[in-house]
Amino acid sequence: MATALADIPDHVPSELVRDVDIFNVNAIDPDIHIGWKKLQDASPSLIYTPRNGGHWIPMRAHVIERVFQDADVFINGGEWVPPNPKDMLPLIPIMSDGALHRAYRSFLMPYVVGKPLLAAIERARGLAIDLIEGFRADGACDFAVDFAQHLPIEVFLSLVDLPSEDRPYLASLAEVVRMPDEAERMVAFQKMYEYVAGYVDKRTKNPGNDLISTIANGSVLGRPMTREEIVGECTQVLIGGLDTVASMMGFIAAHLAVNVPLRRRLVAEPRLIERRVDEIIRRFGVAGPSRQAVADIEIDGITVKAGDTLFLATALHGLDESRWNNSLEIDLDRSSKGTDFQTFGSGPHRCPGAALARSEIILFMEEWLKRIPDYSLDPEKPMVAASGNVTGVLSLPLKWEV
Ligand code: HEM
């Protein structure tokens, strides 16, 4: 459903206005990344859309980088796209800035590298093998529902030291969180909050060596974290790593289903998966965080005023031809490094889960291509994807010979 149109502010020249709904990029092209690219190819470096409260969209790689990196002018703790619902609890740490943000973030960092990362990936690898072996003989699966969403949940359960038995419950909520109905989505979010809150209370009293215990007993700016902050931060770790990872896997699986020479090369030379994963991640930006300007600033001769909001479609960065020749192609001989692209953002909010996500994507490709090297899209049941703050793959029916 199209959103209402906001008034165009006086400082926005009419030639920069485009009617773009971030929740309906499929209207430009059913392939959402191609939709973003078509818009990019036909746009100046910044456009303004009256949808979703009215906001800017930086269209070019250099503008996206500048906004990510100038945290003095572009803050995370202001208004987002779409406008924040009334009484919404801020997501932590993503909707905070400055010293408070750094303090919140410091709790996460030890858990997304080193031993906790390796332990989480080992657990997720075991699950990936079990899931694939569970449906391999069927010759078909819904990749999004039967496979991809389960891996990030298992990773989260490992970081917070909770049993795999909780995964089906969280997976049922994750499915609802990806549905278009906002009321249903909010109920599922609330249930995730409640799930996390139950463990927060237990670990506050009896801490262990896990992420929830660390956050629950943490201090920020010389005071203990409030319960609301603790639950908010633990829930964001769950949500932040869920749709992003699952959708990225979905886009990769769909791409490999139809780009047979690329898939065959990865099957024949599996070492390329780890070596070239950054080029694959570059191609599929899925996250779309927001910023609010707190000062007037000029970018490429265009004035963004204090109070304006911006939507950072990370997909656009990886598709900008001024950075990547033939950007729609995954070229395993191209050298793309994690710092060259913005799929994980940059600046103070750069995704803390980037290394973890990267390892999850490697393990999915390694274990899948080893067991199901030849597969295709199901022509009877097309893939369902939706654009938004995270571009999600809701359903991806795949088939193979058994
Ligand atoms: C392919 C997978 C992923 C993608 C594409 C992705 C993308 C991003 C991006 C672009 C940001 C920056 C947001 C901003 O600048 O406002 C971000 C932040 C964040 N991500 Fe990820 N992410 C992924 C996986 C994960 C995982 C696995 C976790 C869990 C550990 C995670 C947790 C977070 C958190 C907590 C933040 C907020 C950081 C802050 O505000 O300082 N993400 N992510």
Burial, 301: exposed, middle or buried (Cβ in 10 Å; 0-12, 13-18, 19+)?
A: exposed
DSSP assigned state of 9: P
What mean pLDDT do residues 226-247 have? 92
At 2, is the pLDDT very low, low, confident or very high (cuts 50, 70, 90)?
low
At 3, is the pLDDT very low, low, confident or very high (cuts 50, 70, 90)?
low
Q: Which domain holds residue 173?
A: 16-399
Number of Cβ within a 10 Å radius of residue 44 = 15
Tens digits of residue pLDDT in 352-370? 999 999 999 999 999 999 9
Of 8-22, 166-180, 248-262, give the lowest mean pLDDT range.
166-180
Q: Is the Cβ–Cβ distance between 274 and 266 less than 8 Å?
A: no
Closest residue by CA, ligand 1 atom 27: 241
pLDDT of the residue at 117: 96
Tens digits of residue pLDDT in 227-236? 999 999 999 9
pLDDT above 90: residue 296: yes
Contacts of 333 (CB under 8 A, 6+ apart): none
pLDDT above 90: residue 143: yes
Q: 378 CA distance to ligand 1 centroid (A)? A: 31
Residue 330 sits in a domain whose CATH number is: 1.10.630.10
Closest residue by CA, ligand 1 atom 40: 94
Buried b (16+ CB within 10 A) or exposed e, 79-96: bbbbebeeeeebbbbbbb
Does residue 310 fall inside a structural domain? yes
Tens digits of residue pLDDT in 158-201? 999 999 999 989 988 887 776 667 788 788 888 888 999 999 99
Does residue 188 fall inside a structural domain? yes
pLDDT of the residue at 185: 77
Q: Is the Cβ–Cβ distance between 365 and 289 less than 8 Å?
A: no
Residues touching ligand 1 (Cβ under 6 Å) are: 68, 76, 93-94, 105, 112, 236-237, 240-241, 244-245, 248, 286-287, 289, 314, 343-345, 349, 351-353, 356-357
Q: Which long-range contacts (CB under 8 A, 24 or more apart) does 201-206 make?
A: 204/230
At 336, is the pLDDT very low, low, confident or very high (cuts 50, 70, 90)?
low
Q: Give the whole-angstrom CA distance, residue 232 versus residue 237.
A: 9
Does residue 2 fall inside a structural domain? no
Does residue 54 fall inside a structural domain? yes
Cα–Cα distances (Å) from 217 to 211, 214, 238, in that order, read 10, 5, 18
Strand bridging mode 74-75 / 290-293: antiparallel
The amino acid sitting at 402 is: V
pLDDT above 90: residue 51: yes
Closest ligand 1 atom, residue 111 Cα: 30
pLDDT above 80: residue 44: yes
pLDDT of the residue at 1: 52
318's enclosing H/E stretch is: helix 314-318
Does residue 1 fall inside a structural domain? no
Q: Choose the residue to mutate in 210, 244, 314 for probing ligand 1, maximizing ligand atoms within 8 Å of C-beta.
A: 244
Q: How far is CA 200 from the centre of its chain?
A: 25
Bond into 116 cis (ω within 30): no
Looking at the structure of the chain, the number of domains it has is 1
Q: Which long-range contacts (CB under 8 A, 24 or more apart) does 129-138 make?
A: 129/367, 129/371, 132/367, 132/368, 132/371, 132/372, 133/371, 136/371, 136/372, 136/402, 137/402, 138/402
